[in-house]
Structure 1
Amino acid sequence: MVTVIDTLARKPSELRHPEKANRPDSPVLRKPDWLRVKAPGSGQYNATRAIVREKGLHTVCEEAACPNIGECWSQKHATLMIMGDTCTRACAFCNVKTGLPQPLDPEEPSKVGLAVAQMGLNHVVITSVDRDDLKDGGAEHFAEVVRQIRAQAPGTTIEILTPDFLRKDGAAEVVIDSGPDVFNHNLETVPRLYLKIRPGARYYHSLRLLERVKERAPAQFTKSGIMVGLGETKEEVMQVMDDMRSAGVDFITIGQYLQPTRKHAAIDRFVTPDEFSAYAAIARAKGFLMVSSSPLTRSSHHAGDDFARLKAAREARQGR
């Protein structure tokens, strides 16, 4: 029988091959069988894609080359990416293009609200690129998207996956006050790897952002996620779990990092399904209301079903 300690006590290959991480034009490792997914192509997938194209919207599903796009779009679920398709940062893990973005489209919030209504979504996830070029980081635009969804699709629950609004005073509060059901901001990796993997961000600023959500709107669910397979140790992952719990995070996601291109940070190793199960057991023991930990876990994968379970878990805990 494999135990939690057995599966997590493996020495990361970063200690053996430190030169491999973030190397230019590094080889893309062959995926193991547990990471292989079917190519998209169902009728509902095509219908979802048609609505996205018709409204001129962007999705993180496409921009970030998510492996779950076929499954999600076939179930009428898409994570919409607002404020354009060009990010002002250049994180080493991300496939979204970097550069000088176009001005915001003032009609985008209403377009998103209408698209959500037309798709008949029960739950929608809204994310964005980083917009460090804007005075408020795009906070008011983000909040208006939430308000438009509420107006045009009142039965839809809303999950947002936000940037960190670094050095934008008052920006996070504007988004929090728009009243999403779930406020998600990903820590992405362990603190030691930030300068290499997420150089434009600061770990403790992101952690403080999640804490502020709970302080300002205690009823909002908070969610955060990390990628593994970048060279982190099990002790570092468990410390991130503790940091999240200290900030009041309700829901943690843990997924395998997949290298988009040879120009991106190299995969240190493929974490096995048993190890993901071990991380899930530890996270539950630490008190998270919800845990999603698997090779193909992504922030918005199964978000609608997870939201229903998240509410049930809170109700069960409050009823004790």
Structure 2
Amino acid sequence: MSAVDMTSTGLGDLLGAWWPLALTALLVVAAAMTVTAAAAWRSSRVAVVDVTWGVGFVLAALAGAVVGVAVDGSDGARRWLLAAVVAVWGLRLAWHIRGRAQGHGEDPRYAELIGVRPEEDRRAWFVLGVRKVFVVQAVALWLISWPVQVGQALPVASWWLVGVGVAVTAVGVVFEAVGDAQLAAYKRVPKAERPPVMDTGLWRYTRHPNYFGDACVWWGLWLAGGLASGWVPGLATLVAPVAMTWFLVFATGARLLERTMAQRPGYPEYAARTSMFVPLPPKRR
């Protein structure tokens, strides 16, 4: 598409078309987190929120597609394409996390963050869980879904960017799915028969292929949803993939996990030769 097409959407046009979908996504996310908080109260586990993380994006994307069509009356092929892509990613992630969490107690990260156990003071534990986990994740989920919201609210300015974005997202989903499958296969081997650190397959090139894949998913959705709607929508939604990458690398993802993994025998040597995030050929020993 031409430069005129890419710059034709101004800030006023963006906000006018975006706000119904932004409001819809906010209400959907709030409802999903409210239900999840109730489930956490019953199960005494804040970690149930991890399943809602993927499902929440799917619900917001599906609701956005429906509202987008209702607002302007068009069929909006990109709306349903974005919803389908998010559904593939989000449902796979939710299913994987649900299966991984079965039979396990509270996630140590959440236990450390909250600082109070439910058996010690159930009310304080729940209030802190809502404030430090559910509200924070609800806001993050809504913010990170901005490119999808915008892509479902505005006409397409560049279909080739949509194609590139979907391709990048597909790469991300493959990295996540394959990395998770390889790690699950490694964990099924008895400890006495497996190496102390997983360093084969994708894990040979990056210490966190699933986190890298997650980042690719949201950079791809930004290309297909935000930037493919024009330069103004692209700049307005750039915070979404940047925030997601920051969370994955520095906040709740790789860096936090590295603190624990660094104490495992063989991990410092593995870390010395393997890229932390972006896949790279391993360094020579």
Q: Which has the larger share of helix? A: 2
Q: Which has the larger share of strand? A: 1
Please confirm whether the aligned pair reaches a TM-score higher than 0.5, indicating the same fold.
no
TM normalised by structure 2 equals 0.25
